[in-house]
Structures are given as structure tokens and as C-alpha cells.
A and B are shown apart, each in its own frame.
Chain A
Amino acid sequence: MAIHTNLYLLVFLPLVMLAYQLVPRKMRWGVLLAASYALYISFSSFLVLLLMATSFFTWKIALWMDEIGAQCALKQKECTDRKQKSEVKKDFQKKRVKVLRLGVLVLLGILFYVNYYNFVAENVNIFLGVLGAKLPMARVMFPMGISFYTLEAVGYMADVYWERYPAEKHLGKVALFLSFFPQIMEGPIARFPDTADALFSGEPIKMENISEGYLRIIWGLSKKMIVSDRLTLLTNQIFNNHKEYHGSFIIMAAIAYTIQLYMEFSGSIDIVIGSGKMFGVTIPENFNQPFSAQSAAEFWRRWHMSLGNWFKNYLFYPMTVSPLVKNWSKKARKKYGKYWSMVGTSAMALFPVWVATGVWHGAGWKYLFYGMYYFVILLLGVALEPLKEKRYQKLGIDPNAPWLKTLRILKTWVIIFTGELFFNAKTLTIGFEMFFSIFGNFHISSIWKYWPYDLLSEGDVCAIIGGSIIVWIIGFLKEHGWDAREKILHASTPARWSVFLACAFALLLFGAYGTGYQPVDLIYAGF
């Protein structure tokens, strides 16, 4: 039961809300947990046991680290001088890091096995084949959401290790944090303090939360059903049969896929956040007008933010302050100067982040390429920054001139479209074929000559363009400090209700649904 289906929105969610409101406040977290496991069972049946085991394991590891910390504090009390104290601390810190390593390795090990074992085995077998040996292939069932809850669990353990907050004593709270039903399919990846307290406190359901949640859900559904689901037909056809299409269609498909992915992913995140809001839980945002970004780096601060933040906090920063990188950077500074040391350090810290971002999406060379693509672009961005500044000064251009901003936004779009082309191509080879066909076989007129009307009729195109423009305008206004959602929620009741009803009927009228339409699966639920 995915979160965009009628069954979830019209039956499951209202029933959970009703049950939540009816039980005593102290037991409300239990309702949410039971609902989360019920939803999980509907996707992955008995693999819910893995989710439960992961929750228990995470809870235990964190407690264990805290216990060692407590022992350390006791021992420190016995010490008299400061030096002795820090010696003791070092000793215990060694123990704690072992526990952390155990926790992280087990969780990432499961994630690796589920996602990448077959891919690795396949590629290793190519080499082993020469020797006549062979790794067996595993038949793995995919536990829904494992890429999301594993990162949440690892982040929680790391934060406890760094003593950013104490380990949670209540198992149910950790379990609910990891499995909360709106988030389990597509994230966003939350940090423990973001949601855990609100989830556990059992706040009563409030009218203004229902309003806000409702508006958010309708908005998300509209993005998905009016724009994204229509584009799916077109992009599937072109990406699956790219040889039949001219380069102009490939460009269109890359743009269409980017819009489709944004509408569908940000739309389902809207549904997630709206669902959480119903229970008074504020789930962190995942998108922030990514298409107004002026550089690839900024794009990644605005797109799938929870993943970017996770990698920044748990991979990028630890890398930058790791002894390996630090030592290198010190030496490099003396040898090559400030600039090159900065570029080198950035490269060393960025590389693992982008390998991880790439393969987090799945096993396959194209995902690795996708990661490396952004690695190179971001590194170039760092390396060229000083040059650019000089150039601007020399030419006397104001770097903040509107035309320059627009140009930079367009440049970023091209980078994004190209990235998504490879991201959605069936394999890396096909990705390159499609990419090069843009240059070899480009006829702009073929777009209207050979338009696939059976996949997207004129009406569908109108809905897609109209929908995209509305989303763009609302994003643009928000970017400039006028938040439509806030305005609606604070309007008078008749005005607010009119907007609510208008949104609902617009969705019912223009959404792509009904007999003959296949409901389209969520893209990010596959990662």
C-alpha cells in the first residue's frame, strides 16, 4: 500500500488518525508503531522482522556506548589531574569506537548484501571466469526502505558516539523513529531529534494540523498525478527504445524525466510531510526549489536535502577532519601552496561522498558514473572559483547581475538534465549512446513531425505545461519571500475552504487517473 494510493489516503491514514485520537495519550506511540509495521508488512511481509531486528540492534548499540561513557565518567572522578583524566577518556573512547564500528558495519553489511552483492558477484565473476571459479548469485528479497532507515540508524549511532545527545532508553521510541510509516518508503532521512520526541509525545490531533497536512497532501498528489504520471508514459517509451528516436527527442526525454522525477519525488515527500503533520510531527524538508540553484553544488543543497545533509554530516565532515586528510593537507600547503592544498583536500573529502551518493541509488555502473559526474563538476567548481572572481573583476562585471544569475541557472539546468539522462538510462552504455545521439542525429523538426500522440496527446501536454508553470510560480514566489501555503493557512475560513475545495477539484479533474490508467509506482521507493 504505497502512500499515493486511495487505500492509504482514504482508508489507512484516516483510520490510524482515528485510532490515535481515541487511545489514551500514553499509548499513542504504540498506535503509530503498529500502523507502521502493518504498512511495512503490506510491502515486504516477513522482512518486517529485519526492520524490527535493526531497531533493536540500533537501540542496544547506542545504549552500550552510553554505558561505556558512564563508566568513563566514574573513573574520571577518581582522577585528580587533568592529564590523567584525558588519558582515561582516551582509553574508553577506544572501546566506544569499537562498539560504533560493530554497529555501523553490521547495518551497512546488510545494506550492502541486499543492494550490491549480486552486482559485485557478477563483476567479480568476469575475472574469476578466467580461473574457472564462480561466486554464487544470491536470491535477495528487497526490504522496502532499507536504504533510508539504515542511514537513519547509522546517523543516530554516530550522534550518540559523538555525544551530541544521549542514547534513547525506550526501545519503542527508537523503533518508531526508524519505521514511521509515511517516511519508510522514500524518506526523508531524519535525524533522531528531528522527529522522535514529537512521534513519542502523543500530541492530540489538531484542526490546524489537519488543514496544513491536507493542503500539503493535495499539493503533492497534484504534482504527481497531473504532471509526473503523464510524463512517465513518454519517458518510459523513449528510454526503453532510444534507438528509434532522434537526438531532439533524447534531449526532450532528459528534460521530461527531470521534471517527472522532481514532481514525483517532491510530490510524494509532500504527502509524507503532510501525513506526519496530521499527527503534529514535523518531518524535515527534502526540497527547496532546486531549479533556482545557480550551481551544481547549490543544486545538491536544494535537492534531496536529507540525503545530502546525511552525507555531509556523517561522511564529508568526518573525512575533512580525519588524520589522513589533515596530514596531507598540511604537507600540501607547504609544498604546493594554499590553493592546491584546498583543491586536493576538497577532492579527498568529496570523492567518497560522491561514490556513496552514486551507489546509494543502487548497484550499477551508471549510478557510480552519476556520482562521479557530480564529483568532477563540483571539484571543477571549487578549483575554478578564484579564477572566476578574477575574471569578473577584470571585466568589471557585477557577479550578482540578474542576467548572470539567469545564465548560471540555465547552466545548472543543463548539468542536471545531463545527469538525469545517465541516471535513468538502462545501462551506462545506453546512457552514452543516448548522450552522443544528441550530437549526431539532431532534427528539431522531428519533435512535431513524429510526436507520439498515443502516449501524450495535446491535452496531456497542456496539463504538464500548465502544472509545471504553477509549481514554478509558487516556487518562485516562495524563493522571494511570499509563501503561498502560509498565506492560505492564515486566511479567513471561507477563503481557505474555497482554496481547499478548488485544489481538490482541480486534482480530480486534471489528475491522470481512472480506469485504464495504471497507477504509477514511486521511483525513489526502489532505492
Chain B
Amino acid sequence: MEELLEILRDIDDSVDYEKETALIDDHILDSFGIITLIGEIEETFDIEVDAAEMTPENFNSAQAMWKMIQRLQEN
């Protein structure tokens, strides 16, 4: 989790990721942020994020992202 938060802070450090729950819906994380983010988490956690995962629910909060990462690591 700490690793994920670090990646996120690297993209934009003005957001409180532990509290924010509408990263996508409020456009805090824009499309280009997502591009960077996906590259980073795939490398760090050694997972494959495929198109089916690209939903706002999976990226709206750090918590949701962490859940997704864990799920993908299990598979």
C-alpha cells in the first residue's frame, strides 16, 4: 500500500490519497495520469492490467486500486 501511495504522490503530490474517493469522477487523476500510473504499478507489482479493469470503480481511490492490485496478483 505504501508503495502505491508513493507512486500516486509522484504523479500529483497535492492530493490526500488516503481520503480521496473520487479520483476519476472528479477528474483529479486525468487520462495522462492514468497512463503513467498503469505503467508504474505494472512494473512495481508485476501484474497485467487489462482493458476489463479500466473502470472508474477500480481507480477512484487508493484503497480500490490496492484491492485491484491484490486481486490481480492472486490470479
Q: List 16 A–B pairs whose Cβ atoms lie within 8 Å, in order of A's numbering.
A: A164-B52, A297-B30, A313-B54, A317-B51, A318-B54, A320-B34, A320-B38, A320-B54, A321-B38, A321-B54, A329-B35, A330-B39, A342-B35, A345-B39, A349-B31, A382-B32
B27 within 8 A of A: yes
Please pick, from A297, A313, A318, A349, the residue contacting B35 in the complex, using a CB distance under 8 A.
Answer: A349
Contact with B along A420-452 (1 / 0, CB 8 A): 000000000000000000000000000000000
Q: CA of A333 to CA of B42 in the docked complex: distance in angstroms? A: 13
Is A346 close to B, CB under 8 A? yes
Contact present for B36 and A164 (CB under 8 Å): no
Which B residues touch A86, using CB under 8 A? 75
Assembled-state Cα–Cα distance A427/B38 (Å): 40
Chain A residues, Cβ within 8 Å of B36: 342
Hey, which chain A residues are within 8 Å of B42, CB to CB? Answer: 326
- Encode B33-48 as 1/0 by CB contact (under 8 A) with A: 0111011001100000
Contacts of A67 in B (CB 8 A): none
Task: Output the residue of A86, A298, A321, A346 with the most chain B CB within 10 A.
Answer: A321
A301 close to chain B: CB less than 8 A: yes
A345–B75 alpha-carbon span in the complex (Å): 27
Q: Quick one: which of A162, A297, A341 contacts B51, CB cutoff 8 A? A: A162
Contacting pair A333 B30 (CB below 8 A): no
Chain A residues closer than 8 Å to B18, beta-carbon distance:
none
What residues of chain B have their CB less than 8 Å away from a CB belonging to chain A? 27, 30-32, 34-36, 38-39, 42-43, 49-55, 75
A-B contact sample (14 more), CB < 8 A, given A161-B52, A317-B54, A320-B35: A162-B52, A164-B52, A164-B55, A297-B31, A317-B34, A317-B51, A318-B51, A320-B54, A321-B38, A321-B50, A321-B54, A330-B43, A333-B39, A342-B36
Q: How far is the CA of A161 from the CA of B51 in the complex (A)?
A: 10
Chain A residues near B (Cβ < 8 Å): 86, 161-164, 297-298, 301, 312-313, 316-318, 320-322, 326, 329-330, 333, 341-342, 345-346, 349, 382
Q: Top 5 nearest A-B pairs by Cβ distance?
A: A162-B52, A317-B54, A318-B51, A320-B35, A345-B35
Which among B32, B34, B52 has the greatest number of chain A C-beta atoms within 10 A?
B32
Q: In the complex, what distance in Å separates the CA atom of A86 from the CA atom of B43?
A: 22
Select which of A161, A316, A322, A333 is within 8 A of B31 by beta carbon: A316
Check if B51 sits within 8 Å of A346, measured CB to CB: no
Q: How far is the CA of A25 from the CA of B38 in the complex (A)?
A: 47
Contacts of A322 in B (CB 8 A): 51
Closest to B39 in A: A329
Inter-chain CA distance A86–B75, complex, in Å, is: 8
Residues of B within 8 A of A318 (CB): 51, 54
CB-defined contacts of A342 to chain B, threshold 8 Å:
32, 35-36
How far does the alpha carbon of A298 sit from the alpha carbon of B30 in the complex, in Å? 10
Residues of A within 8 A of B32 (CB): 342, 346, 382
A301 to B27, Cβ gap below 8 A? Answer: yes
Pick from A164, A317, A326 the residue with the most CB of B within 10 Å.
A317
Q: Which residues of A contact B43 (CB under 8 A)?
A: 330
B10 CB to closest chain A CB (Å) equals: 10
Shortest distance between the CB of A481 and any CB in chain B (Å): 14
Cβ of B55: which chain A residues have Cβ within 8 Å of it?
164
A382 contact set on B, CB distance < 8 A: 32
Query: Given A329-B39, A342-B35, A346-B35, are A321 and B30 also a contact pair (CB < 8 Å)?
Result: no
- B75 contact set on A, CB distance < 8 A: 86
